[in-house]
Amino acid sequence: MRGDHWEMLHGRYQDVMNDVTCDAWIGDTPYSSTTHSGHDAMTESDNAKMRRAITYPAWTPDDVRECVSFWSPRTRGWFVTITDDVLAPHWRAALADAGRYAFSPLAYVVHGSRFRMAGDGPAQWSLWIVVARPKREPYSKWGALPGAYVQPAGELSGHRAGDHKREIGGKDDWIMRRLVADYSRPDDVVCDPCAGWGTTGAAALREGRSFIGSESRESAFAVSCKRLSETSFQPSLFNPSKAKQAKITLDLP
C-alpha cells in the first residue's frame, strides 16, 4: 500500500547501502565543524532552553565528496540536502562534478529560530538546501520549484512539539514533507542514508513514497524504526496537483 514500504539499515551507509538505488535522495547530513562547534559554545542554559549538544561528528568537504561519489550514480532523480553555509558550496561543486545540474543553494528560514545565537549579534549560522538534478529529461522539465523555503511560524513537528524531554532531535516535519513533495513523485523510493531520528522517512511515507535509510548511531536508529512503524500515508499537505502526476520510471545510466 502507498506509504507502507520502508526499510532502515543500521550502520554507516558506506557499509550497509552498497546495493541500494533510489529515485530521490533527500537528506540532512551532518554540518561542518563550524556549526557543530558553535553548538558546543552555547552555555548549558542555552542548550537546555533550545537543543541538546550535537553528539555525532561534523562532516568535512571530503565527507561531502565521498557521499556524492557514492550516491550520485545510485540516484535516478533529484539530490537534495540540507546543510550549512560552510559545506553548501562543497555540495554544489561535488554535485556539478558528478555531472548533475546543481542549483544555487536555497535559503531555509525558520521563523523564531534562535539556536546558535551567542547574544552578540544575529544567528551564527544559516541553513541552506542544495539541490541538483540529472541533466536530462524528464528532470529538466520538472517545473517551477521554490527559490527558498520559509517555514510558517509555529510549524514544529507534532513529534518534537510534544517532546518535552527533548529525547528526539531532527528536522521539523514541515520542511521534510515539503522537500519530499517538491522533489519526488508518488510511489518513488526516497533515500536518506543519514536518517537520524527518521524525519525524512516519516515525511516520505506520509506523502505516499517508499523509504530506505541508514543510520550509524544505534539510539537514533531505534527511534527512527519505531517512528516509521507508526507512520502511514496522509493526503499531501502541499501541491495536491502533484499527487496526480505519474511516477517517472527511468533506468540508471
Ligand X SMILES: C[S@@+](CC[C@H](N)C(=O)[O-])C[C@H]1O[C@@H](n2cnc3c(N)ncnc32)[C@H](O)[C@@H]1O
User: Using CB under 6 A as the criterion, which residues of the chain lie in contact with ligand X when the complex forms?
Assistant: 12-14, 28-30, 56, 170-171, 193-194, 196-200, 214-217, 220
**Of the candidates 240, 252, 248, which has an alpha carbon nearest to the alpha carbon of residue 141?**
248
Nearer to ligand X, 84 or 188 (CB): 84
Nearer to ligand X, 40 or 56 (CB): 56
What's the closest the beta carbon of residue 107 comes to ligand X, in angstroms? 18
d(CA 74, CA 221): 22
- Residue 106 phi, psi dihedral angles, 5° rounding: -95, 135
What's the closest the beta carbon of residue 195 comes to ligand X, in angstroms? 6
What's the closest the beta carbon of residue 131 comes to ligand X, in angstroms? 16
What's the closest the beta carbon of residue 200 comes to ligand X, in angstroms? 6
What's the closest the beta carbon of residue 201 comes to ligand X, in angstroms? 9
Residue with cell 527511534: 223
Nearer to ligand X, 75 or 200 (CB): 200
d(CA 97, CA 91): 10
DSSP for 99-118, please give it.
TEEEPPPEEEEETT--TT--
Nearer to ligand X, 188 or 215 (CB): 215
Nearer to ligand X, 100 or 171 (CB): 171
Cα dihedral 247/70/54/33 (nearest 10): -130
Nearer to ligand X, 134 or 193 (CB): 193
Nearer to ligand X, 78 or 197 (CB): 197
Per DSSP bridges, beta strands 100-102 and 210-215 are unpaired
What's the closest the beta carbon of residue 246 comes to ligand X, in angstroms? 28
- What's the angle, vertex CA 59, arms to CA 58 and CA 62, rounded to 5? 155
Q: How far apart are the first and last CA of the chain?
A: 29
3-state helix, strand, coil in the chain (%, to 5): 35, 20, 45
The number of angstroms, rounded, from the C-alpha of 80 to the middle of its chain's C-alpha atoms is: 7
What's the closest the beta carbon of residue 117 comes to ligand X, in angstroms? 19
